[in-house]
């Protein structure tokens, strides 16, 4: 039996998503679990796997097309089945063409009249005793152009009104042309060059989420300096004795988790009608990727060794930069860590990553003047800043958490215990 493949809501986790790349072609046999498309969501580009066995009979939308969740994107038929056997109401604009063959996508309309129920009226309007068939795209264009669809006779299958019926109307081309606005004369030497970079789905998501965070979540900040001389020595010894090379950030993540265990009030998120406190520690780690930022989540960090943290972070970061991260790996957690120390940044404040209630901004470990027993000396110092959601974390709780974190960083053997 033919199956209509639709944009999955769980995968997109939003109202719409973009088919970035088709990984299969028309006529290809597919099995459950086979990757068939790369879909760009708000957070990442993820692979969508087939949920049925069969033959890919039709690609309804082209690569690069943004469509709403639940809309059809492809048709899969059983072996021996033909297009004529497809019994579905797939509503496709006739201008869309199959990316493999270049042929127009076939429209299918149910032949059996639907019962005249209130629920059926909006989808197939009745006009002067006849049913008015038109695609959603045609209805949208008609509204924009001020065209009364009742006055048109459709030339599509079954009398459906299609886009070409609108485009052939007198003056249609003129309505499609933007009105040229006269520009003031500018001397060549005064004209500045620029390039407009189109926004990707990821960049739009970053802009929307962080604007919402900064304007609706009451941030406050707590900053501390950590002596890391002993931690650097410990890391050197660990790397010399082990096969997995650890970074300073791996120890930071372990210390963050231990501090959240010690101060469980900080391991919480705002839940509108309640504050949700977690039993385990899941930490999101900021990873720079082409065109944006992703925050894969490391699970159960309080139970992991430093070497295990290093291995898992390396895997998550590599797949995030390669566009192979999974949607569920970007979700959950209560706390984030953003480290810009490798870029030479000594101190900064990060914006909270909703729904997390805390994010630790980690600067570079640099040699600075320090006072030891009343004497001036040189020490290696790392500045960290906690951004906290004041709806969840009060100032005293943030101070307790920061003290617990600094204590572990400056006494690094406690991180390994």
Same domain, 404 and 274: yes
Task: For residue 98, tell me if it sits in a domain.
Answer: no
Same domain, 233 and 370: yes
Bridge partner residues of 337 (DSSP): 285, 360
Task: For residue 107, tell me if it sits in a domain.
Answer: no
pLDDT tens by residue, 152-179: 877 766 677 877 777 777 765 444 445 4
Domain count, the chain: 3
Same domain, 264 and 337: yes
pLDDT tens by residue, 27-81: 899 888 888 888 877 667 777 888 888 888 889 888 888 888 888 988 888 887 7
What integer pLDDT is reported at residue 116 of this predicted model?
40
| In the predicted structure, residue 124 carries a pLDDT above the cut 80 | no
Identify the weakest region by mean pLDDT among 76-90, 103-117, 253-267: 103-117
| In the predicted structure, residue 151 carries a pLDDT above the cut 60 | yes
Same domain, 143 and 21: no
Same domain, 222 and 268: yes
By the 8 A CB rule, do 308 and 274 touch?
Answer: no
Same domain, 160 and 293: no
Task: For residue 150, tell me if it sits in a domain.
Answer: yes
Task: Look at the block and give the residue holding tokens 């030339």.
Answer: 155
Q: Residue 365 maps to which CATH number?
A: 3.30.559.10
Same domain, 399 and 282: yes
**What's the pTM?**
0.62
Same domain, 229 and 329: yes
Q: What residues make up the domain containing 159?
A: 126-175
Same domain, 130 and 72: no
What integer pLDDT is reported at residue 303 of this predicted model?
96
Of 85, 108, 137, the one marking the end of a domain is 85
pLDDT tens by residue, 98-120: 444 443 333 333 333 444 433 33
Identify the weakest region by mean pLDDT among 86-100, 168-182, 368-382: 86-100
Q: Is the peptide bond before 88 cis (omega within 30 degrees of 0)?
A: no
What integer pLDDT is reported at residue 97 of this predicted model?
40
Bridge partner residues of 359 (DSSP): 336, 387
Same domain, 254 and 312: yes
Task: Look at the block and give the residue holding tokens 């063409």.
Answer: 97
DSSP state of 84: G
pLDDT tens by residue, 326-356: 888 999 999 999 999 999 999 999 999 999 9
Task: For residue 368, tell me if it sits in a domain.
Answer: yes
Q: Residue 59 maps to which CATH number?
A: 2.40.50.100
Task: For residue 114, tell me if it sits in a domain.
Answer: no
Q: Which residue has the higher pLDDT, 23 or 118?
A: 23
Same domain, 43 and 132: no
Helix (H, G, I), strand (E, B) or coil at 333: coil
pLDDT tens by residue, 287-298: 998 888 899 999
Of 62, 85, 108, the one marking the end of a domain is 85
- Give phi and psi for 24, each to the nearest 5: -130, 165
What integer pLDDT is reported at residue 184 of this predicted model?
55
User: Of residues 219, 328, 356, 390, which has the active-site annotation?
Assistant: 390
Secondary structure in 3-state letters for 36-49: EEEEECCCCEEEEE
C-alpha–C-alpha distance, residues 99 and 279, integer Å: 49
Q: Residue 141 maps to which CATH number?
A: 4.10.320.10
Same domain, 219 and 349: yes
Respond yes or no: is residue 390 known to be catalytic: yes
Task: For residue 295, tell me if it sits in a domain.
Answer: yes
What integer pLDDT is reported at residue 259 of this predicted model?
97
Identify the weakest region by mean pLDDT among 6-20, 37-51, 253-267: 6-20
What integer pLDDT is reported at residue 246 of this predicted model?
94
Task: For residue 183, tell me if it sits in a domain.
Answer: no
Task: For residue 237, tell me if it sits in a domain.
Answer: yes
């Amino acid at each position: 039996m033919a199956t209509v493949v639709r944009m999955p809501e769980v995968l997109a986790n939003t109202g719409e998503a973009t088919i970035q790349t088709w990984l299969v072609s028309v006529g290809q046999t597919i099995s459950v679990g086979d990757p068939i498309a790369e879909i760009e969501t708000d957070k990442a580009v993820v692979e969508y796997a087939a949920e049925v066995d069969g033959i890919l009979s039709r690609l309804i939308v082209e690569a690069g097309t943004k469509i709403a969740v639940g809309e059809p994107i492809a048709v899969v038929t059983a072996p021996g089945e033909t297009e004529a056997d497809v019994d579905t109401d797939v509503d496709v604009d006739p201008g869309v063409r199959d990316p493999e063959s270049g042929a127009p996508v076939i429209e299918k309309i149910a032949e059996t009249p639907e019962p005249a129920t209130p629920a059926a009226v909006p989808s197939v309007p009745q006009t002067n005793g006849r049913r008015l068939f038109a695609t959603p795209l045609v209805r949208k264009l008609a509204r924009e152009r001020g065209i009364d669809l009742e006055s048109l006779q459709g030339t599509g299958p079954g009398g459906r009104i299609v886009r070409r019926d609108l485009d052939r109307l007198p003056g249609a081309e003129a309505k499609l042309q933007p009105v040229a606005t006269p520009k003031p004369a500018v001397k060549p030497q005064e004209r500045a060059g620029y390039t407009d970079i189109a926004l990707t789905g990821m960049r739009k998501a970053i802009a929307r989420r962080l604007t919402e965070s900064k304007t609706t979540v009451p941030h406050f900040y707590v900053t501390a300096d950590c002596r890391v001389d002993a931690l650097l020595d410990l890391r050197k010894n660990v790397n010399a004795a082990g096969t997995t090379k650890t970074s300073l950030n791996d120890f930071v993540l372990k210390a963050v988790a231990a501090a959240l265990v010690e101060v469980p009030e900080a391991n919480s998120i705002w839940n509108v009608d309640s504050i949700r406190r977690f039993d385990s520690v899941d930490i999101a780690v900021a990873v720079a990727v082409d065109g944006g930022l992703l925050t894969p989540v490391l699970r159960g960090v309080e139970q992991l060794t430093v070497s295990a943290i290093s291995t898992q972070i390396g895997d998550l970061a590599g797949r995030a930069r390669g566009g192979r991260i999974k949607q569920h790996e970007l979700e959950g957690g209560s706390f984030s860590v953003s480290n810009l120390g490798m870029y030479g940044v000594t101190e900064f404040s990060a914006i909270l990553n909703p729904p997390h209630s805390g994010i630790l901004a980690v600067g570079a470990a640099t040699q600075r003047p320090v006072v030891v027993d009343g004497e001036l000396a040189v020490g290696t110092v790392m500045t960290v800043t906690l951004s906290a959601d004041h709806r969840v974390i009060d100032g005293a709780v943030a101070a307790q958490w920061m003290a617990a974190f600094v204590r572990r960083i400056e006494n690094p053997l406690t991180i390994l215990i």
